Amino acid sequence: MNLTNISQAKVFGGWHKQYTHSSSDLNCDMRFAIFLPPNATKESPVPVMYWLSGLTCTDENFMQKAGAFRKAAELGIAIVTPDTSPRGDDVPDDPEQAYDFGLGAGFYLNATQKPWDQHYQMYSYVVDELPKLIEAHFPVTTKRAISGHSMGGHGALTIGLKHPELFCSISAFSPIVNPMTCPWGQKAFSHYLGSDRATWADYDSVELLKKQSAIQPILIDQGGSDHFSEEQLQPEKLIAAAEQTGHVIELRMQAGYDHSYYFIQSFIDDHLAFHAAHLFPSSEED
């Protein structure tokens, strides 16, 4: 596989690096970033937290704004951030260039409708192609956790719930939990998946939770002053579904916080420590 390093910087004793590669799932060139903590070596590989970003973002937003490197270096966790959608001149975009659909808004699903189906296969990319690439080229183990923000929180929840054998823990900031019932999700799903709402349920955390006999540990932080919460995010629906099915999800409502990376910066250390407890099950976090 053609893997090209396009940037790198040393940080907290580890390395932040960006790469491009040709993706067979997405039929275009893709970019991702990886943070490798200082203890990551071929002889001593480390586990990985996959981070999925939200609408309009790229691989850079989390890496540049979240302030996650110090804690990840301390814990010995690698972080991988893919882009949020396929990119390129041949990749179709929303004809009106809206921020909530098309480029930057892949919704971490496999599109079935033309013209989106040729490139918009982010679900397969995150579940299969990207982890295989990471594990083939970097000093990491097959132990994985998954996290994300907003649209990426939706991706982390749906992918994690569907693949407990791949991801030992799930966390999210301000996730879209019930996209079948919110404007962002309805717009994306109707274009990517078509009019059959039965197919939408496969990418809806509330609907997936109802079918699960068991779930991994899940931590969610939601800002109390997030203006997207009521219409788009609806975290109470996920908790209601969990209560109905007997599942336990930790939802922390954080008073005064909004939807921004200031919110993520404030609690990212908690999320990394949460994942470390499951990535290193024999260790105890302070």
Q: Which of 149, 259, 271, 275 is catalytic?
A: 259
Would 61 be classed as within a structural domain?
Answer: yes
Q: Are 83 and 110 in contact (CB under 8 A)?
A: no
Task: Look at residue 85 and tell me if it is in a domain.
Answer: yes
Is there a catalytic annotation at residue 150? yes
Q: How many Cβ atoms sit within 10 Å of the Cβ of residue 255?
A: 7
Which tokens go with 263? 């919110």
Query: How many domains is the chain built from?
Result: 1
Full pLDDT tens readout for the chain, 286 residues? 589 999 999 999 999 999 999 999 999 999 999 999 999 999 999 999 999 999 999 999 999 999 999 999 999 999 999 999 999 999 999 999 899 999 999 999 999 999 999 999 999 999 999 999 999 999 999 999 999 999 999 999 999 999 999 999 999 999 999 999 999 999 999 999 999 999 999 999 999 999 999 999 999 999 999 999 999 999 999 999 999 999 999 999 999 999 999 999 999 999 999 999 999 977 444 4
Catalytic residue among 23, 169, 226, 247: 226
Strand partners, 159: none
Query: Any catalytic annotation for residue 29?
Result: no
What phi and psi values does residue 222 have, to the nearest 5 degrees? -130, 125
Torsion angle (degrees, nearest 10) of CA 164, 165, 169, 172: -50
- The radius of gyration computed from the CA coordinates of the chain, to the nearest angstrom, equals 18
Q: Of the listed 53, 150, 169, 171, which one is catalytic?
A: 150
Nearest C-alpha neighbor of 238 from the set 169, 162, 157, 167: 157
The angle formed by the CA atoms of residues 83, 212 and 161, to the nearest 5 degrees, is 15
pTM over cut 0.95: yes
The answer to whether residue 157 sits within a structural domain is yes
Would you say 263 and 257 are in contact if contact means Cβ atoms under 8 Å apart?
A: yes
Residue 286 lies in a domain: no
Angle in degrees, CA 178, 174, 127, rounded to 5:
70
- Asked about 226 being catalytic, the answer comes back as yes
Q: Is residue 284 part of a domain?
A: no
Judge whether 19 lies within some domain: yes
Residue 107 lies in a domain: yes
215 touches 188 (CB < 8 A): no
Domain extent, residue 17, equals: 4-279
CATH number for the domain that contains residue 42: 3.40.50.1820
